[in-house]
């Protein structure tokens, strides 16, 4: 049951990240011309997308690492903790303009749709902030404890391989970040090119 819930959340996160990348990239060329807050909003959507994809890839890499015995459960937990430390400030930071825009739009238009979006974004922002306050100390503790042990092992000349394990964890997190960023760039670029071609076709009619 827990596996099904995890898989469902992973799929949902991937879908939301894909939508953010598509919508953020779709109007990117236009935002270069108009500038202003819309460009900040689109950039925030793209960064949010990259963070979402990164978390998906981080989860997949950690699970595969444990299943194949490439990683221990402790190392996988450190991966999640390190990823959380990196991703959480990004999500909260870029979430602020998205949340503010949804509130402004809901106030101006006062429709059911815009109100629902503003309500969801408010809930998501509050959840992320509370989640960070709750989980960030534990994440920092996990990472500091793991890498502190790694340094101590190297000073003692230990052959436990803790230092090598720490390097593997860092490289896997970097791989997840790179994968999330590249996925967002590819989706956004494709959406932008299609939108520009559609606009050019409409102008020729």
**96: how many CB neighbours lie within 10 A of its CB?**
11
Report the number of distinct structural domains present in the chain.
Answer: 1
- Cα–Cα distance for residue pair 22/90, rounded to 1 Å: 19
| Residue 198 confidence (pLDDT) above 50 | yes
Note whether residue 39 is domain-resident: yes
Note whether residue 203 is domain-resident: no
Note whether residue 204 is domain-resident: no
pLDDT digits (tens, 9 = 90+) for 96-135: 999 999 999 999 998 998 999 899 999 989 999 999 999 9
Q: Residue 10 is part of which domain span? A: 2-197
Note whether residue 48 is domain-resident: yes
Contact 78/204 with Cβ under 8 angstroms?
A: no
Note whether residue 202 is domain-resident: no
pTM reported for the whole predicted model: 0.87
**pLDDT at residue 34, rounded to an integer:** 79
Cα 13 to Cα 67, 122, 135, distances in angstroms? 22, 18, 19
Question: In the structure, what pLDDT confidence band is assigned to residue 64 with cuts at 50, 70 and 90?
Answer: very high
Residues 82, 77, 167: CA angle, nearest 5 degrees: 60
51-71: average pLDDT = 95
Contact 57/180 with Cβ under 8 angstroms?
A: yes
Residues 126, 113, 128: CA angle, nearest 5 degrees: 15
Question: In the structure, what pLDDT confidence band is assigned to residue 47 with cuts at 50, 70 and 90?
Answer: very high
**pLDDT at residue 159, rounded to an integer:** 44
- Cα–Cα distance for residue pair 13/131, rounded to 1 Å: 17
Note whether residue 205 is domain-resident: no
| Residue 85 confidence (pLDDT) above 60 | yes
């Amino acid at each position: 049951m827990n596996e099904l819930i995890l898989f469902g959340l992973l799929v949902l996160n991937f879908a939301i990240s894909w939508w953010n990348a598509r919508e953020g990239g779709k109007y990117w060329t236009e935002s270069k011309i108009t500038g202003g807050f819309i460009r900040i909003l689109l950039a925030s959507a793209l960064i949010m997308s990259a963070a979402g994809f990164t978390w998906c890839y981080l989860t997949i890499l950690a699970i595969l690492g444990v299943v194949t015995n490439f990683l221990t459960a402790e190392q996988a937990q450190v991966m999640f903790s390190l990823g959380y430390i990196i991703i959480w400030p990004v999500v909260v930071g870029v979430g602020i303009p998205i949340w503010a825009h949804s509130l402004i739009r809901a106030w101006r238009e006062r429709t059911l749709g815009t109100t629902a979006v503003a309500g969801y974004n408010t809930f998501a922002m509050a959840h992320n902030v509370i989640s960070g306050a709750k989980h960030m100390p534990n994440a920092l503790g996990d990472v500091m404890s793991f890498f502190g042990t790694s340094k101590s092992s190297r000073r003692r000349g230990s052959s436990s391989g803790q230092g090598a394990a720490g390097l593997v964890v860092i490289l896997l997190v970097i791989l997840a970040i790179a994968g999330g960023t590249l996925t967002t760039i590819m989706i956004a670029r494709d959406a932008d090119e299609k939108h520009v071609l559609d606009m050019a076709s409409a102008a020729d009619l």
